[in-house]
Structure 1
Amino acid sequence: MSPRPATPADYDRIIAVVDDWWGREVQHILPRLFLDHFHRTSLVAEAGDDLAGFLVGFLSPSLPDTAYIHFVGVNPAFRGTGLARRLYGTFFDLARADGRTSVRALTSPQNSGSIAFHKAMGFTATPAPAHDGPATDRVLFHRLLS
């Protein structure tokens, strides 16, 4: 299950499973434009013909030292295998190769699993009330790349 660079064609496979993997509707936060425009910096992992996981990220065009992870998913059948860590590690390597020194991401305050994972991966977590508009709180993650 080594991550490979995503292609725009991977979008249909990803969007077909995200709601099931999350157990709620999340398709709306992953529009096709992310894989159309950021597939070079996004990753897919497969186990045979099965989609095992993916990471959608990009190198910030406005912050030249920063890379951003927008969306990550691991097939429930492959959780606990270290796949998410491999996806993040591959993305960190990609960001370093481009001279990036930090990675950012965010989640909702209710997503305790994501918060715990990011902290375990060395991110700092900062509460951000009303970050995405009134009553839309977030937790911001930041990690320096060594």
Structure 2
Amino acid sequence: MIVIMGIHIAPAGVADFHQLLTDHPRYWGERDLRSLHLLALVQEFGSTCLVARAEDGIRGYIFGFVTPDGTGYVHLIATRDDARGAGLGRRLYAAFAEAAARHGALQLKAITSVENTGSIAFHRSLGFDTKIVDDYNGPGRAMAVFHRDLPLNVT
């Protein structure tokens, strides 16, 4: 567990997962991404599915896993609407990178839609290389694909 300024970053549990779905709009606004939230990730890759908890609840989370080729893949990262702009996303990424490295990851990868300019800017600020890959998510569905080597040194 990592504790910084009253926020504890620790592995997510099943109850956390259900709370995140209940509070989904606080993290994603009008975008309904509940179908991307897979309980199996928490159950099977618990040490790389993390929540940032404070006295007032879960302020953010990152769900990912390590692939057999040593890639720490980030499936979802979100911060609660009242926790944005304070560096929590960077702290969650750093905690994920440490957990992934403990499981043999040598690099990180994430994807987002090409329209998600906020995510693209965030990942670039963390030193990720960005490439737009046509048909990545099926015919006519280009995605922004992010890669970077570990370690991830963020402040």
TM bracket, shorter-chain basis = over 0.9
Write out aligned runs for 1:1-20 (5 A).
Answer: 1-20=7-26
Question: Are residue 32 (structure 1) and residue 39 (structure 2) matched?
Answer: yes
Partner of 1:129: 134
3-state SS, counterpart of residue 77 of structure 1 = coil
Partner of 1:104: 109
RMSD value, Cα: 1.3
**Is there any run of 5+ residues in structure 2 with no aligned partner, and where?**
1-6
CA contact (8 A) 1:8 1:39 kept: no
| Match among 125, 129, 154 for residue 120 of structure 1 | 125
**Is there any run of 5+ residues in structure 1 with no aligned partner, and where?**
none
Give the aligned length: 144
Structure 1 segments of 4+ aligned residues over 4 angstroms from their partners: none
- Identity of aligned pairs, percent? 34
CA contact (8 A) 2:64 2:73 kept: yes
TM-score normalized by the length of structure 2: 0.87
Which range moved further: 81-90 or 30-39?
30-39
3-state SS, counterpart of residue 116 of structure 1 = helix
CA contact (8 A) 2:131 2:145 kept: yes
TM-score normalized by the length of structure 1: 0.92
